[in-house]
Amino acid sequence: MRHNKSGRRLGRNSSHRAAMMRNMVTSLLEHEKITTTTTRAKELRKLAEKMITLGKRGDLHARRQALQVIRDRKVVAKVFEMVALRYKDRPGGYTRILKLGNRVGDNAPICQIELVEEEFTPRPKKVVSAAAKVAPEVEAVEEVPAEAEIEAEDKD
């Protein structure tokens, strides 16, 4: 049984799976968008976000760690010089998975994984005063005088 074992096996042995993920993350970071199956994209997202986070760190050790996975110096340079600058204020969530339907041959669910393009704007923090935490104000409900209700019924 595989209790508490994270990650999907994807029908491959470990060396094939690792090579496939390295190739896919290299293609994603090079082209910024690829089409693949949904399960592969969900596994790829983990690795791609780690590589972008390494790029945001920007030191020599992070570059060497990225080179162990990506294996293409031009793509690593792109991640550290262009992609990391794009996401410098973003605290994660660099990729998006868009479902495209099912593949014709084997009906496998296909999706497109891409790097997020829009600017990140942090949500403003809600400021709650201490008085509001202790006794929240209850809105008063206006009472309609009974005479006004009777007059309204008589008009109908």
Q: Tell me what pLDDT residue 59 has.
A: 96
For residue 100, give its domain range: 14-115
CATH for 36: 3.90.1030.10
Q: Tell me what pLDDT residue 134 has.
A: 63
Q: Quick check: is 135 in a domain?
A: no
Q: Tell me what pLDDT residue 126 has.
A: 79
Q: Quick check: is 154 in a domain?
A: no
Count of domains observed in the chain = 1
- Residue ranges in the chain whose pLDDT is less than 50: none
Q: Tell me what pLDDT residue 125 has.
A: 78
Q: Quick check: is 89 in a domain?
A: yes
**3-state DSSP of 7-26:** CCCCCCCHHHHHHHHHHHHH
Strand 95-102, strand 33-37: pairing: unpaired
R_g of the chain computed on alpha carbons: 27
**Using CA atoms, how far apart are residues 112 and 41, in angstroms rounded to an integer?**
8
Q: Quick check: is 156 in a domain?
A: no
Q: Quick check: is 59 in a domain?
A: yes
Q: Quick check: is 127 in a domain?
A: no
Q: Quick check: is 145 in a domain?
A: no
Q: Sign (positive/negative) of CA torsion 56, 61, 64, 66?
A: negative
Q: Quick check: is 88 in a domain?
A: yes
